[in-house]
Amino acid sequence: MKKLLLLLFIPILLDAAIPDLTQGGAVPARDAKDWNLGPTGARGWIYSDKYSTSEARQIYVTSVEKSSPAYKILLVGDVIIGIGKSKFQDDPRRTLGRAITQAEARNGILALLIWRQNKIASINLKLKVLGKYSATSPFTCTKSEMIFKQACENIAKNLKKNKNRSNWIVRSANTLALLASGDRRYLSLIKKEVAEAAKYQGIRTNSYYSWFYGPVTSLIAEYTLATGDKRYLKDLKRIALEIVNGQSPVGSWGHRFVDPNGRLRGYGMMNAPGLPLTLSLVLARKAGVKDAKFDQAIEKSTKLLRFYVGKGAIPYGDHHPWTQTHDDNGKNGMAAVLFNLLGDKEAAGYFSRMSVATHSDEREMGHTGNFFNIQWALPGVALSGPQASGAWMREYSWYYDLARRWDGSFIHQGAPQDKKDSYRNWDTSGVMVLAYAQGNRNIYLTGKKSDLVEQISTANAEAIVALGRGWTLKNKHEYLNGRSDKALVLALSNWSPVMRIRAAEALAKRKPKDLKPYFELLDSNDLYSALGACELIIQMKGQAKDAVPQLIKWLDYPDLWLRIKAADALAAIGQPSMKAVPRMLEMFAEQSSGDPRGMLQRYLCFALFNKRGGLLGKFLDGVDKKDLLEAVKIGLKNDDGRARGAISSVYENLEFEELEPLLPAILDAIEEPAPSGIMFADGIRTAGLKLLVTHKVADGLPLTVDYIKNQKKHGSQKRILVLIKYVESYGAHAQKEIAKMNDIIDYFEKQEEGFPKKLSMQKAQYLRESIERIQKTNLRPQLKFIEK
């Protein structure tokens, strides 16, 4: 294969304008990303900006594979400028993908218009004829079946050569594709991969092993279920129990499993590995692994995940629902499959519909790359039935045809201009063709249990697909500009929370002077309309003050999310909403079986105490202190570290004497960090320490010393300097902590894991210098003591 080295042979283009490669323009050397150009055998560079190639009109050919359809016909350095006789008038990536789809459906001839040696020329590439996608593809679709069979043959060939085994995400997908085929010719290859999977011991590595446990466990469980071969059940149980034992108290997992202290490291809860882990436990249980711990782990995790039904996409971690796009890197597809297996019709249906609405630029996006957004697309979509998958494929099949190579394999394409793509050049053959296998329903990950979710009609499917059409990262603030006010008001009542928010933002941008016509939704008995009205009020802020009486009524509405959104809207309005504060403080004490994780209290923490926008974030004038302190005590026990952190504003807005009844709760919040929201869990702890140190509360000294060791590692080399000052402010009282400080020095020098050794040694030196100063001081400030 001839590969053009862009960085060596193409001059740097300093101008930010789109280069015209037919008029002396050049590919920017800083942008070396190129694309697979479908089954042509060629790859090409396409101009992109903010996850979009919509402004490009040319494709620069960067390589051509030997023996491929493009070999000796398309040359490195050619510029593809159109299809047939017409130049590109739209995104060339999509246009070429659709042209490939059409060529394979007809005679296989792909006619290209190219620029070569300062001349325009027409060339024809001969592709294999596969037929056209059916109206219900991949269901009852000959082309889908052919693509699936060709890819399986390629996977099998590479496995026989011991190639493309890669990591267990890739290996599992490739093996599951062979398993989903039902072809017994692949059984020996499948057994070899499953036997290797059964030896998996990821927890003994230092990698981000949580990501691989789910695929490994799912593969062994699916094999057991499909073949009836139970020889690996013992291994399956061992691996699955490692997952269970690695779960956090709230039901989550991170890059790795929990530490011995029961907390997750680093970023804390991460749903991208957590969802496949939960799904794998469900499959293991279905395969015959029995243990009460499994049931408890699955219940804890699904309790976390089910909260997002009707509210948005499942987010990165224990965060607010994701509402920028209809899916967040495939997690809704994962959730649709999970809840379908669990028999939860409402949750499976919701997440499947959200998957149907996610295509084009919404599918391109994804944290560290869109690998999982593509992997879990059709598994989620297809649960809503053949009409749903057919409508979705009519919109997005061009992406699949452009990603498919001429030998039938697939390689990760990634998103335009994504320089942080962690999956570059990953083999995605199994991942992509599991989408085409959704029509055969042979294994559970391809819809073997598929009678739960409502099978939507063609019209409904087209309407759902239309929700995601036209949105791009580049025009996200403009794409609804052409719609009338009436259309946007109607969209406020849409089932999709993403569309409700987009409509609210578009209406607010028009700065309407008279809000009464819009607030007719406030009197609606329709839940979606009420939620849409709240979103508009959040955008309009103080202009919507007339809505306060209705929002106060909604604080007592049966639906949890409407109560939360009403609180958010009251906070957005600001000062005119202060009359709602007594009721909002009172709500902290409410407990409900429908809110097992205290989400109402969590969001009330933000609505009331957030320094930026909380009703009580800056001032507490006129607030009943007894009710306030009772609410704060409850909020300080919330699962979420960020919610607890919002309460720190109360520490700053009350006199110390007023806070004294809270001191035991403040101590508890320092000593017992929040079990979730790990990235933000230290905020309330440091705020509490600052309060105790400032007022020389005796308990603040040992707690600060303990915190020097147990603080979040990220940034600790800087934070320790502040903590040392806190300790030294206690003067000679700190001398009794010197032995403990020496132990911490020893810990930094010999034991601290997951942190650069150089910085650990630096922290140890800071402590030595501090001990010297403490030993010399005669300062003895008067201490306060807490009655417990």
Burial of 510 (0-12, 13-18, 19+ CB in 10 A): exposed
Q: Are 225 and 283 in contact (CB under 8 A)?
A: yes
Q: Tokens in use for 480?
A: 């609804």
pLDDT at 307 over 80: yes
Q: Is the dihedral of CA 307, 248, 207, 761 positive or negative?
A: positive
Task: Tell me the C-alpha distance between 111 and 99, whole Å.
Answer: 9
CA dihedral 759, 762, 768, 772 (to 10 degrees): -140
Cα–Cα dist 39/432, whole Å: 15
Q: How far is residue 39's CA from residue 405's CA, in Å, rounded to a whole number? A: 4
Residues 336-364 pLDDT 10s:
999 999 999 999 999 999 999 999 999 99
Helix, strand or coil for residue 442? coil
Mean pLDDT for the chain overall: 93
Scan for tokens 């407990």, then name that residue: 591
Q: What percent of the chain has pLDDT over 90?
A: 84
Stronger pLDDT, 13 or 443, i.e. the higher one: 443
Strand-pairing partners, residue 124, are 111
pLDDT score for 9? 34
Q: What is the mean pLDDT of residues 251-267?
A: 88
Q: Where in the chain is the domain with CATH 2.30.42.10?
A: 2-126
Q: Looking at the predicted structure, is the pLDDT value of residue 57 above 70?
A: yes
Would you say residue 179 has pLDDT above 80? yes
Q: What is the C-alpha separation between 351 and 233, in angstroms, rounded?
A: 31
Instruction: Flag whether pLDDT at 6 surpasses 50.
Output: no
**What is the residue whose two structure tokens read 């080399």?**
717
Average pLDDT over residues 556-569: 97
Distance separating alpha carbons of residues 348 and 343, to the nearest angstrom: 8
Least confident stretch, 5-14, 179-188, 271-280 = 5-14
pLDDT higher than threshold 60 for residue 11: no
pLDDT at 425 over 90: no
**376 with 338: CB under 8 angstroms?**
no
Q: Kindly report which listed range (17-31, 622-636, 698-712, 747-761) carries the lowest average pLDDT score.
A: 17-31
- Per-residue b or e along 756-768, where b marks 16 or more CB atoms closer than 10 Å to that residue's CB: eeebbeebbebbe
Is the model's pLDDT at 748 over the cut of 60?
Answer: yes
Architecture of domain 2-126: Roll (2.30)
Average pLDDT over residues 583-600: 94
Query: 3-class SS at 35?
Result: strand
- Is residue 157 packed enough to be buried (19+ CB in 10 Å), middle (13-18) or exposed (0-12)? middle
| pLDDT range class, residue 233, cuts 50, 70, 90 | very high
pLDDT of residue 164: 58
The answer to whether 79 touches 114, Cβ cutoff 8 Å, is yes
| Residue 2 confidence (pLDDT) above 70 | no
Q: What is the dihedral of CA 378, 379, 380, 383, to 10 degrees?
A: 100
Cα-flanking dihedrals φ and ψ of residue 78, to 5°?
Answer: -65, 150
Arithmetic mean of pLDDT, 678-697: 93
DSSP 616: T
Residue 476: the pLDDT is 87
- Distance, CA of 372 to CA of 404 (rounded, Å): 17
Q: Specify whether the backbone of 714 is left (phi greater than 0), alpha (psi in -120 to 50) or beta.
A: beta
Checking if the pLDDT of 13 tops 50, the result is no
pLDDT of residue 17: 81
Q: SS3 letters for 44-95?
A: EECCCCCCCCCCCCCEEEEEECCCCCCCCCCCCCCEEEEECCEECCCCHHHH
Q: What is the pLDDT of residue 62?
A: 95
Task: Assess whether pLDDT exceeds 60 at residue 435.
Answer: yes
pLDDT of residue 5: 35
Q: Nearest Cα to 198, choosing from 222, 215, 217, 214?
A: 217
Find the mean pLDDT for residues 146-152.
97
Residue (of 326, 301, 329, 302) closest to 312 by Cα position: 326
Residue 276: which of 220, 332, 215 has the closest Cα?
215
Which range has the worst mean pLDDT, 7-16, 201-210, 288-297, 685-694? 7-16
Residue 521: per-residue pLDDT = 78
Q: Cα–Cα–Cα angle for 328, 334, 337, nearest 5°?
A: 145
Reply yes or no on domain 156-382+430-445 having CATH 3.40.50.300: no
For residue 530, what pLDDT band results from cuts at 50, 70 and 90? very high
Non-local (6+) Cβ contacts of 140 within 8 A are 134, 386, 439
Q: Based on the number of CB atoms within 10 Å of its own CB, is 232 exposed (0-12), middle (13-18) or buried (19 or more)? A: buried
User: Which part of the chain is CATH 1.50.10.20?
Assistant: 156-382+430-445
Residue 516's pLDDT band, with cuts at 50, 70 and 90, is confident
- Compare 693 and 25 and report the one with higher pLDDT: 693
Q: Flag the least confident range among 52-66, 179-193, 406-420, 458-472.
A: 406-420
Q: Which residue has the higher pLDDT, 6 or 219?
A: 219
Token pair belonging to 337: 């499959």
**What is the pLDDT at residue 578?**
98
**Mean predicted confidence (pLDDT) in 83-96:** 97
Q: Residue 10 above 50 pLDDT?
A: no
Predicted local distance difference test score (pLDDT) of residue 788: 65
Spatial separation of the C-alpha atoms in residues 589 and 740, rounded to whole Å:
39
**Cα distance between residue 536 and residue 422, in whole Å:** 37
Q: How buried is residue 530: exposed, middle or buried, by Cβ count under 10 Å (0-12/13-18/19+)? A: buried
Percent residues over pLDDT 70 in the chain? 97
